[in-house]
Amino acid sequence: MGQPPEGKNGTKRDTIIASVTHPAPVLFPMPDTPLSLLNRVFGYPAFRGEQAAIVDTVAAGGDALVLMPTGGGKSLCYQIPALLREGCAVVVSPLIALMQDQVAALKELGIAAEFLNSSLDGATAAQVEREFVSGQLKLLYVAPERLLTPRFQSQLEQARVSLFAIDEAHCVSQWGHDFRPEYLGLSALHERFPDVPRIALTATADAATRAEILQRLDLGAARVFVASFDRPNIRYRIAEKSEPRRQLLDFLGEHRGEAGIVYCSTRKKVEETADALKRAGLTALAYHGGMDNDTRRRHQEKFLREDGVIMVATLAFGMGIDKPDVRFVAHLDLPRSVEGYYQETGRAGRDGEPAEAWMAWGLQDVVTQRRFIDEGDAEDAHKRIGHAKLDALVGLAEAASCRRVALLAYFGEASQACGNCDVCLNPPTLWDGTEAAQKLLSAVYRTGQRFGAGHVIDVLLGKTTEKIDRFGHSGLSVFGIGASQSDKVWRAVLRQLVVRGLLEVDHSAWGALKLTQAARPVLKGEETVMLRAIEVRPARKKSRLAPSSGAGVHDDEDPLFLSLRAWRRETANEKGVPAYVILHDATLREIAARRPATLAELGEISGLGTKKLEAYGEDVLGVVAEG
């Protein structure tokens, strides 16, 4: 077993790359280095962060575990070693759509890559298998269930494997949320092919999952690379819900013509929101688990392939979406945890260009989720975890200091105020809400802890309603003591008291508000309560004035950029690939800004390797000359 001897297939695999990418015959060809491949094949000037060290480790035959956030650049970590080493790299990936796009992108770069999964017909699959066994491929993407079949195992024996890359490695963890039983079988790879290096990659952070990956994949001797989980190009904004639909439309107005995802918690809300956006003249599509497979697939394709599509979706959408130019992710409902929020927002801005994560949340979100946790049939310990996770997220949403600091701290990473979140750009005003809190808590107490928010606020405001008459509440000492503040202010106070645990909402009593132990010191005047003032105007104007750390809002009106995009759309359609497989937005933008006149000038732009320059250089120069 193990590896066949050197040169078994009689060909040097490196020539596949060399022949397509060396521009002219070279008398003394220089051996490829990681950096030369990065420059020449991928068209990027430099490695990011730990990429270089990871590539060196794997290229030299060592094992690695890579933890890098979405958009960090994990693919290059195995693609470049695959080009440097003899043989074919086998990439295990659970996501079919992602495989197809990765392979299309690699082919665009002139790299011999294929995939094997259930979407191929028998004849095509057999052809790919032949190419693999006879040594014609540099990268082969395989679904885990196929990898473990006896048929493929015997092909692995016959082929020459340069390395195994295990993408989405957290799928091996039973405690994680994406557990895939087939991943457990992957430890067998090491037993059968002990000399082939392995690289496992994931964007899931916590220490427990990390340990489980190392153990279950038998990666005890692997070097572990942990990148920072910061995504500096993402601007975090969290707003209080007042009129969610209008707030969303305002936000989308700042992203006209850009692609993005709007998450809603229910199918019904997905449909309604998508319809409302369409009525507002936006290109929006719905996506949720209740739709038929065909429509769902069609919508996903459209989102991936066309420019500027807004996907309104439940959480069913997103895993394996590799689209680099998603410019925003909006949440119309609170996710369940900080991990969820981080993972979902992480789908924005994978290309490193400025992107926004925006969320609108309100008390009702918290109340609904608490009920959902309490009424579920999980064990108590699990319910406690559920509540704790929700608390952490609410803490982030309520934060009066930098969002990013709070987010990264959750993942155990210390950082400084970022200058690129709503709190940094537009610090909230705090006010001493002790007296207001006392009034509200008293109103809850005096009305007998039997009523919900609406009635308690009516009492504070001194309204005359049927209910107030019926219960004789106009005679209470608290009646009308809050009349100097608006209903809106009282709702904000109430929300903050609930999320801080001074008040709780009793679901078994139709949402009645009750005092908790934590309310006592406040009522007794032993504790001060600082509250966030409600936002009077959207953070938007200010944040535009203060772009920082390179992130700002693009001037997408540049006509040359738009012409380049139109050209790219046509080209992508002709080839039947997503637009970003041709060239990334960042590259188009740099072209529009620098207006190159020659191929040599064009070649200096990041994202244009030799192959792409050859394929599109003249066309692009043509567009620039006209624009």
Residues that bind Zn ion (CB under 5 A): 402, 404, 418, 421, 424
Q: Are 336 and 263 in contact (CB under 8 A)?
A: no
Tokens representing 242? Answer: 């007042």
As measured in angstroms, the least distance from the Cβ of 580 to ligand ADP is: 7
| Tally: H helices and E strands in the chain | 30, 17
Tell me whether residue 71 or residue 362 sits nearer to ligand ADP (CB atom). 71
Please return the burial class of 170, using the count of CB atoms within 10 Å of its CB with bins 0-12, 13-18 and 19+: buried
- Please tell me the distance from the alpha carbon of residue 174 to that of residue 179, in angstroms, as a whole number: 5
Q: Are strands 355-361 and 328-331 parallel, antiparallel or unpaired?
A: parallel
Q: Is 74 in the site for ligand ADP (CB under 6 A)?
A: yes
Contacted entry of ligand ADP, Zn ion, none for residue 186, CB cut-off 5 to 8 Å set by kind: none
Contacted entry of ligand ADP, Zn ion, none for residue 48, CB cut-off 5 to 8 Å set by kind: ligand ADP
Residue with tokens 């949340």: 361
Per-residue binding string, ligand ADP, 289-328, x by CB under 6 A, is ---------------------------------x-x----
As measured in angstroms, the least distance from the Cβ of 17 to ligand ADP is: 18
Interface segment toward ligand ADP; rule CB under 6 A; list 40-48, 402-410, 478-486, 502-510: 40-48
For residue 30, give the DSSP letter.
P
- The 3-state secondary structure of 396-440 reads HHHCCCCHHHHHHHHCCCCCCCCCCEHHHHCCCCEEECHHHHHHH
As measured in angstroms, the least distance from the Cβ of 394 to ligand ADP is: 28
* Ranges within 565-584 binding ligand ADP (CB under 6 A): 584
Tell me whether residue 98 or residue 522 sits nearer to ligand ADP (CB atom). 98
- Please tell me the distance from the alpha carbon of residue 62 to that of residue 56, in angstroms, as a whole number: 9
Tell me whether residue 248 or residue 407 sits nearer to Zn ion (CB atom). 407
Return the sign of the alpha-carbon dihedral for residues 184, 189, 194, 197.
Answer: negative
- Please tell me the distance from the alpha carbon of residue 603 to that of residue 565, in angstroms, as a whole number: 19
- Please tell me the distance from the alpha carbon of residue 80 to that of residue 113, in angstroms, as a whole number: 13
Binding residue (CB under 6 A) for ligand ADP from 21, 57, 70, 337: 70
Q: Which candidate, 590, 596, 625, 571, places its Cα nearest to that of 45? A: 590
End-to-end CA separation in angstroms for the chain: 60
In the complex, residue closest to ligand ADP by CB: 73
Residues near ligand ADP (CB under 6 A), total: 18
Three-class DSSP category at 331:
strand
- Please tell me the distance from the alpha carbon of residue 541 to that of residue 211, in angstroms, as a whole number: 45
Residue with tokens 């991928």: 42
Q: Is 351 in the site for ligand ADP (CB under 6 A)?
A: yes
Interface segment toward ligand ADP; rule CB under 6 A; list 45-53, 244-252, 262-270, 477-485: 45-53
For residue 475, give the DSSP letter.
G
Tell me whether residue 74 or residue 473 sits nearer to ligand ADP (CB atom). 74
Q: Is 544 in the site for ligand ADP (CB under 6 A)?
A: no
Q: Is 350 in the site for ligand ADP (CB under 6 A)?
A: yes
As measured in angstroms, the least distance from the Cβ of 115 to Zn ion is: 40
597 DSSP β-pair partners: none
* Ranges within 164-203 binding ligand ADP (CB under 6 A): none
Tell me whether residue 72 or residue 482 sits nearer to ligand ADP (CB atom). 72
Interface segment toward ligand ADP; rule CB under 6 A; list 64-72, 291-299, 370-378, 457-465: 64-72
Tell me whether residue 325 or residue 398 sits nearer to ligand ADP (CB atom). 325
Contacted entry of Zn ion, ligand ADP, none for residue 421, CB cut-off 5 to 8 Å set by kind: Zn ion
- Please tell me the distance from the alpha carbon of residue 288 to that of residue 266, in angstroms, as a whole number: 8
Binding residue (CB under 6 A) for ligand ADP from 4, 7, 48, 464: 48
Contacted entry of ligand ADP, Zn ion, none for residue 568, CB cut-off 5 to 8 Å set by kind: none
Q: Are 440 and 456 in contact (CB under 8 A)?
A: yes
Give, in order, the Cα–Cα distances in Å from 434 to each of 383, 440, 514.
32, 10, 18
Contacted entry of Zn ion, ligand ADP, none for residue 350, CB cut-off 5 to 8 Å set by kind: ligand ADP
Interface segment toward ligand ADP; rule CB under 6 A; list 71-79, 112-120, 387-395, 531-539: 71-79
Binding residue (CB under 6 A) for ligand ADP from 54, 67, 76, 588: 76
The H or E element containing residue 303 is helix 293-305
Binding residue (CB under 6 A) for ligand ADP from 44, 78, 303, 561: 44
For residue 88, give the DSSP letter.
E
Binding residue (CB under 6 A) for ligand ADP from 16, 41, 47, 519: 47
- Please tell me the distance from the alpha carbon of residue 252 to that of residue 598, in angstroms, as a whole number: 38
Q: Which residues bind ligand ADP (CB under 6 A)?
A: 44, 47-48, 51, 68, 70-76, 322, 324, 350-352, 584
